Chains A and B, each alone.
Chain A
Amino acid sequence: MASTIFRSLHTNPCLLHPTALLRRKMSFSATPDKVKPQVKVAPNIQNKTLEKASKDYEAVIGIETHVQLNTLTKAFCSCPYNYGSPPNTSVCPVCMGLPGALPVLNMKVIESAIKVGLSLNCKLSFNSKFDRKQYFYPDLPKGYQISQFDVPIATGGYIDVDLPLEYGGGHRKFGITRVHMEEDAGKLLHSEGGSYSQESYERLRFTLSLFWILFVYFMQVDLNRAGVPLLEIVSEPDMRTGIEAAEYAAELQRLVRYLGVSNGNMQEGSLRCDVNISVRPIGHIEFGTKVEIKNLNSFSSVSRAIDYEISRQVLLHSQGEDKEIVQETRLWEEGAQKTITMRKKEGLADYRYFPEPDLPGVFLTQDYVGGIRNTLPELPETKRRRYEKMGLSMQDVLFLANDVNVAEFFDTTITKGADVKLATNWIMGDIAAYMKNEKLTINEIKLSPKELAELIASIKDGTISGKIGKEILFELLAKGGTVKGLIEEKDLIVDPAEIEKMVEKVVSDNPKQLEQYRGGKTKLQGYFAGQVMKLSKGKANPGLLNKILLEKLNAKS
């Protein structure tokens, strides 16, 4: 293993220059990323020959995604699961794999799987089953994982993705091979309290092989996560770039959040991506040797790890050393911004799958599936296409549809009669800025869609000025309340007689401008309006003001 690393160091020149690496890193963090903060641009390969070579090759990328379902209880027992609970506080004989304990399926798992299967345009298996996948590992209490093998609950679907505009935009359709249900494993803990997934554990084993004995001595298992339901979603090898792959993953996250089946949080491991990647000369039909990358904790690491791996593989190809690309699992090192060998495949692992005898088959009826289909919410893709038809720009569409809660807020605002473009501007502008500054989600702000619609209407019909509108907005965001109430509080002048008095005063105070106006310089209306507003200390109703002002200006006296 060490020799491979050594060799790859030699064959990848950009790795030898720490400054180059640093520059690249800076360019990631400097990427302005308003629409999709998660996806960051990949480094351009700096090596000229590599850049040239990369034009002759294409990458083939497929992703296996594990989505942790947010069911109240685990997949096969009644233990709750809360991320971050103290170790082994949410366990029972079933998820600890005690002798004699049996799994009983949580039906919510099936429901979630069907929701995801339908949303990914898959064909459902009305007659599926669970299987046992067998291997030994300390985080796997039963010595097998309950999973689905040859009859997954859903197969043969696709997902629609709109690429972010800053990466060129465009629409993609990626195939979904299968969706299946399984249970999560526990976590290995170091005595110091750090937690290790199997990947990082293997890495530790690799790098700290001298301390292995010590490590085993301190190794502990936390089974809180054991038995938590997962959906494994396997894509077709349809992606070609890091951005496509990251956007695929981001769309899956959006989808599960829209469906409410998972929080999709990558940091907590609720959404985990393992990427399979190979490179082949353009025009070739045969795939190159596939490498798997694990330990991808964000969309940007998905994107960057892939682009790194593409450049590594292209370089080896272009130098005629493609035999150096071996089937293996590599880890993404966030610190070093590179992938390293975790373990080589020693032939195919034999998991000795066989049907889980403790669980009955999973039989679905058309009625049951139909019932679930009817409750599906509007999905991200449908929403985006609808927003597009409403006349919104792609930038707006992607922003609004990105977060299901923002989209719902927007939709409700529109339902309450607000102008589409104005609502979009308010949400993407001042409201988004406020949320960002205060680190609040749209559900946490005090402003309701109804009041936003009211605010927009009040400005539009001239009840208040845009300036006053903005003031009211920030009060609504911070303290709540109603637009009507706030207008009253502000003691706005709505009495036509009072406004008329002020108009008359301004007109009579500015005879010169009046003359010019009447001489045809009608642009001066704005000047008069401003003066009146100033006189009213901004409290005059702008609609009334303008109406009365026009009457006075145009009056033949």
Chain B
Amino acid sequence: VLHFHSYNFSASEKAEATELQRMIAIEQQKAQFQAQVHTFTDVCWDKCVDSPGSKLDHRTETCLVSCVERFIDTTLTITNRFTQMVQKGAH
């Protein structure tokens, strides 16, 4: 949310700034996606790729796909269980 304080912005300038903020938020969301892909690729490369060949074979592809899915499942499991632990008063 933009706060226009003591500056004299015209209505069109305010509208433009708000639109800009919206567009930047979209780019930030895309950047966050990319950052996650970097993390997953890092982890799953270690799990799935032994020696790089002339192409990724089917076994490796399947491993990468499963790895991403299970990593996300793990994240959700940990988040949910941790939330329960906190709610029950554990530290």
- Do A and B pair up? The answer is no
Binding site for B on A (CB under 8 A): none
Binding site for A on B (CB under 8 A): none
